[in-house]
Amino acid sequence: MAVLFLYVATIIVSSFLFLYVHHHRRNSCRTPLLIDWPILGMLPQLLGNLWQFHDYVTNLLRQKGGTGEFMGPWFTNMNYIFTCDPLNVHHIMSENFDNYVKGSNFQEIFEPFGGGSVAADSETWKYRRASMQSMMRKMSFERMSEKSIQKKLQNCLLPILDHACSHEKVLDLQEVFSRLMFDETSIMILGYDPKSLSIEFPLIKAEKAFKEVMESIFYRNTVPISVWKFQKWLQIGNEKKLTEACKVFDQFLYSHISEKRQELIISKCNKSSDDDSLLSDIMMTTDQNGKMVFDDDKFVRDVAFNLYAGGRDTITSGLTWFLWLVATHPSVEAKILEEIKENFDAIDGKKRKVLGIEDVKKLIYLHGALCESLRLFPPIPIERKQSLKSDTLPSGHRISPNTSIILFTYAMGRFEEAWEKDCLKFKPERWISEKGKIKHISYYKFFSFNAGPRICLGKDVALFQMKIVAAAILRNYHIQVVENHPVTPAQSILLLMKHGLKVNIARRQV
């Protein structure tokens, strides 16, 4: 009863403080405050600043020299160390890797990820990562995704942009990318094209549900575990939304898993020649005795879910912020176009509307501009870890066993000590050496793809896909952001734009 009372009291008092701080936010919260309230700790400020969460924490970390402590409400296990110091990141992600795990808190919060590699730890994670890596190699993931993204651009994206030009229609580019990547990810994983990217923008329930799952997980990160668990138990608010969204998305995945199993049973595990899907490869993996290793549908569902999470919204986010930056920096746009012109238009007279992997490897400035955009707007803005044993970070902060640590990727890209005084400037030249080659910058400093043994498995695929899409759009169209369109991050575990990216599009003259 006492615990119940504490939950309710915490919710009520937090809500009042939230409303109070939210009401006064424009006057008072641009400058961070750090008050450790009795009982409620620093949570009211966090909730009051959710609307500007990433910038708020970045400012706090700047004031704290890169590492600070967040004290949550009493008895809620919500105390964190948060850091954007590259030395701490190197220590946690590599030097003392075995001491820092995703941990039980992460697994509970990221429950919809199931047993896939993103939430797994120790031997399970090692095994899952190695299987994923070998499957991606075996099915020549890069070549397959090149072929399928080129086809999608030719048949869907470019016709939609043409249609928008002809009808002078305002387009939400984020929505366009989100649909493009949902289709692309579905083709790669399930071998099925849901065709969510078409001129009518049809409502695809699974696509919408996936977005809601990501938003709900973000919310779980911002309140005490006891609060969201209580909501889950009552099936109210955000937790009700999460349960319903998971159900819709799982139904979508399981129906494809069961269809694929039937196909494989009928064909006695002989994949048809046009079935390139990752799902078939996973299901057909056998041990020395010819027994299927992954005959558990839940496991296959978890792998698929993790790949949707890893590959879909990350690229959507990366492309959206990139095109917004380019559209608002005409000098960068001119340099990208100049580079494309020098390498291709002068040779093939703009015959090919869509380039390939080998082509985009030549575009050094475009590479710099993309990395610069991923530095300022990392699609996954936060990484969570939990310590096993006590330790001391290079910044001098003491870590006790079971301490939750949040690595703020967003703040890392804006940390002056790592990137110099002009770190807030969009400057692709940062990534180009004096000899005009790509400059390698340590992943412990450019943390957008993670670093160390858990570095993103899809970073090369992601970069070339983004380059192919960006080059196809910029080479053929001029993009103008709608006047006064508000550009702010959404409250999600992925750095998407809250109001989308509304643009007008015009064809470029040949």
> What is the CB neighbour count within 10 angstroms for residue 59?
17
Distance CA 257, CA 279 (A): 7
Distance CA 185, CA 458 (A): 12
Number of residues that bind ligand HEM (CB under 6 A): 22
> One-letter amino acid identity for 325?
L
DSSP-assigned states of every residue in 24-43: THHHHSSS-----BTTTBTH
Q: Which of 10, 178, 387, 448 binds ligand HEM (CB under 6 A)?
A: 448
Nearer to ligand HEM, 18 or 324 (CB): 324
Binding mask 248-287 for ligand HEM (x = CB under 6 A): ----------------------------------------
Q: Is the CB of residue 91 less than 8 Å from the CB of residue 97?
A: no
Distance CA 97, CA 452 (A): 8
Residues numbered 197 to 256 that lie near ligand HEM (CB under 6 A) are: none
Nearer to ligand HEM, 107 or 395 (CB): 107
User: Torsions phi, psi of 69, nearest 5?
Assistant: -115, 140
Choices 35-43, 79-87, 431-439, 451-459 (CB under 6 A): range interacting with ligand HEM: 451-459
Q: Least distance from C-beta 315 to ligand HEM, angstroms?
A: 5
Nearer to ligand HEM, 293 or 455 (CB): 455
Q: Is 380 in the site for ligand HEM (CB under 6 A)?
A: yes
> What is the CB neighbour count within 10 angstroms for residue 57?
23
Q: Is 458 in the site for ligand HEM (CB under 6 A)?
A: yes
Cβ neighbors of 140 (< 8 A, separation 6 or more) are none
Q: Which of 43, 132, 149, 354 binds ligand HEM (CB under 6 A)?
A: 132
Nearer to ligand HEM, 40 or 217 (CB): 217
Choices 33-41, 158-166, 201-209, 306-314 (CB under 6 A): range interacting with ligand HEM: 306-314
Nearer to ligand HEM, 78 or 188 (CB): 188
Nearest to 189 by CA among 172, 206, 202: 206
Nearer to ligand HEM, 314 or 492 (CB): 314
Distance CA 455, CA 24 (A): 41
Closest CB to ligand HEM: residue number? 458
Distance CA 487, CA 348 (A): 37
Q: Is 500 in the site for ligand HEM (CB under 6 A)?
A: no
CA 154 to centroid of chain Cα atoms:
25
Q: Is the CB of residue 174 less than 8 Å from the CB of residue 206?
A: no
DSSP annotation of 440 reads P
Nearer to ligand HEM, 186 or 343 (CB): 186
Q: Which of 217, 457, 493, 494 binds ligand HEM (CB under 6 A)?
A: 457
Q: Is 117 in the site for ligand HEM (CB under 6 A)?
A: yes
Q: Is the CB of residue 374 less than 8 Å from the CB of residue 318?
A: yes
Nearer to ligand HEM, 106 or 219 (CB): 106
DSSP annotation of 482 reads P
Choices 26-34, 70-78, 281-289, 449-457 (CB under 6 A): range interacting with ligand HEM: 449-457
Nearer to ligand HEM, 49 or 314 (CB): 314
DSSP-assigned states of every residue in 337-392: HHHHIIIIIHHHTT--SS--HHHHTT-HHHHHHHHHHHHHS-SS-EEEEEESS-EE
How many residues comprise the chain?
Answer: 510
Residues numbered 350 to 379 that lie near ligand HEM (CB under 6 A) are: 379
Q: Which of 160, 461, 493, 494 binds ligand HEM (CB under 6 A)?
A: 461
Binding mask 308-347 for ligand HEM (x = CB under 6 A): --xx--xx--x-----------------------------
Tokens representing residue 3 in the block: 């615990």
Q: Which of 383, 386, 415, 418 binds ligand HEM (CB under 6 A)?
A: 383
Q: Is 385 in the site for ligand HEM (CB under 6 A)?
A: no
Nearest to 110 by CA among 312, 335, 382: 382
Q: Tokens 């890893």 belong to which residue?
A: 310
Q: Where along the sequence are the contacts to ligand HEM (CB under 6 A)?
A: 117-118, 129, 132, 307, 310-311, 314-315, 318, 379-380, 383, 448-450, 454, 456-458, 461-462
